[in-house]
A and B are shown apart, each in its own frame.
Chain A
Amino acid sequence: MSGKRLLLAAALAAGLVASPLPMANQVAAADSLVTHHEFQANCSVTTHRPDDPIVYPGLSGASHMHTFLGNTTTNATSTLGSLLAGGTSCKVPDDRSAYWFPTMYNGNTMIVPSGPQVVYYKSGVLDYTTVKPFPQGLRFVVGSPTATKDEFQHAPGAVEGFECGDSFHNWDFPTSLCPAGTQVNIRYQAPSCWDGIHLDSPDHQSHLAYPVNLVCPASHPVPVPMLEFKIAFPVDGDLSQVRLSSGRGYSWHYDFFNAWDPPTLAALVKHCINGGLQCDARGFDQYKPDRGAALDEHYRLPRA
């Protein structure tokens, strides 16, 4: 984090030096400025199961309860083959990936995210033009169900912890009352540098790494899309009885099993991440409509 702050400070200092630039030039250049390099997967909840095909493959009921998004068939025995034969709750029909995270409860009532949730696909490295799609079958776990509060807060994937209303940076569920009608949101970023070889690893994490100073380390040289789950849980008021199936808020973690159609994923990565756009699930940036969309009106890749 301090590295980023330093860069910002350096940029501000440089900006003062640069101030004599004519204002008109800055305005003219604004439309071509790259401020984002991302697209979204918008996928709604499919089911809840005590299954985890990455950590406890083949063993139904072996996990704490998970809430699943995306592929409609995900269970303990899921493989790439079974996922590719399944349906999806994502807006893009050719995204059959499985996304899941621990189920939230308020007391004993399950809190089910409503409607499409946002999974960002971003650049985790400075040079967003080098990000490549990850291969089918790549799977990993982000974060740790056994993390302490301190580990959760200082994890490289931490963004702002849990938030509701105006309360941010909570590293467990907010202890103040969440205003009526607000939701509890969590964002957490995945590592985005791949070793280029393994689709999985014994701890389901070490085949990926977080960038170091916005560059992929030599051990994990391939920049792939950085997932950022943004999940909204419809619960407000007193959160004292809110928990995850894996424990306290700081046990937050999530899993991803890639079952995208490769050409569709490649088109979105190229157009939105490499192309420096802020795309929706169709690969369209509403602020730069002239750049067009990666997918057609049915969220499918136009094919010749």
Chain B
Amino acid sequence: MARPTHRKTVGAQRCALVGAVLAVLLLTGCATPAAAPPPTPRPAEPPPAATTSVASGPNATDTAWVQLMIPMTEQVLALLDLTPDHGADQELRELATRARTDHQATLDQLRQLRDRAGLPTTNVHAGHRMPGMLTTDDLAVLQQTRGEDFDRRFVAALRAHLDQAITLAQGEQRSGADQDTQRLAATVTEASTDQRARLDQLTGS
């Protein structure tokens, strides 16, 4: 050998080397495949976010938004469910009750959009740490917390959720294609912005 062989040589390289040394002797294995036809690149699917179609159904942005907002909304609903029993501040509890109604309505519509598009019910983000999304561990901690400590964590978690929900909904409004999905995103932007303002009002920030 003229030089050290790479320690992590793959089979292809090993085989090619052997082929070079023993081209005639080695009758099996390293046969030369027929040349492949030349590539004929054809962008069959243009970048979905760039499409401008109006009534052509959901694009990749619509699908991504629906598939992300379902687990995000499910997780925040679990938080809002805890608030009446765990929270201390009456006004925060009232905010949570109203937000719960909004989020449940949003979740119902998201699931309808998902089913209409024939998307699986699988959570494609399971086990990932996602911006603004409460994890099962976060919820387990909140489950063990009450009073002012709960309120503090509740405000931080709801604020992170709402901020992320607004960012995502605006992305869907900008880059989505399906009108029903974009309409729901507009509703989410509006409701989340209202809830965010109320939260700031209550916490004096």
Give the interface of A toward B (CB within 8 A): 1, 3-4, 6-8, 10-11, 14-15, 17-18, 26, 29-31, 33-37, 50, 53, 55-65, 76-77, 79-80, 122-128, 130, 132, 134-138, 145-146, 159-160, 187, 189, 194, 196-201, 214-216, 221-224, 245-248, 251, 276, 278, 287
Give Cα distance in the complex from A125 to B36, angstroms.
11
User: Given contacts A56-B61, A64-B128, A130-B35, is CB(A34)–CB(B29) below 8 Å?
Assistant: no
Closest to A17 in B: B25
Residues of B near A122 (CB, < 8 A) are 10, 12
Give Cα distance in the complex from A145 to B128, angstroms.
9
Residues of B near A214 (CB, < 8 A) are 11-12, 15, 30, 33
> Among B2, B16, B61, B131, which residue has its beta carbon within 8 angstroms of that of A58?
B61
Contact with A along B8-19 (1 / 0, CB 8 A): 111111111111
User: Given contacts A126-B19, A132-B39, is CB(A62)–CB(B11) below 8 Å?
Assistant: no
The 8 closest A-B pairs by CB, nearest first: A58-B175, A4-B11, A58-B49, A135-B41, A11-B18, A58-B61, A57-B49, A64-B128
Listed by A's residue number, 6 A-B pairs whose Cβ atoms lie within 8 Å are A35-B17, A53-B47, A62-B65, A122-B10, A124-B12, A247-B127
> Inter-chain contact count A-B, CB under 8 Å?
214
Residues of A near B41 (CB, < 8 A) are 135-138, 196-197, 199
Contact with A along B30-51 (1 / 0, CB 8 A): 1111011111111111011110
Q: Is the CB of A65 within 8 A of B129?
A: yes
> Do most interface residues of chain B lie in helix, strand or loop, or is the interface mixed?
loop
Q: Is the CB of B15 within 8 A of A4?
A: yes
Residues of B144-185 contacting chain A, CB below 8 A: 164, 167-168, 171-172, 174-176
Residues of B near A33 (CB, < 8 A) are 1-2, 17, 20-21
Q: Is the CB of A215 within 8 A of B127?
A: no
> Among A1, A14, A64, A199, which residue has its beta carbon within 8 angstroms of that of B125?
A64
Q: Is the CB of B29 within 8 A of A10?
A: yes
Q: Is the CB of A58 within 8 A of B176?
A: yes
Q: Is the CB of B61 within 8 A of A57?
A: yes
Give Cα distance in the complex from A17 to B42, angstroms.
49
Q: Is the CB of A6 within 8 A of B29?
A: yes
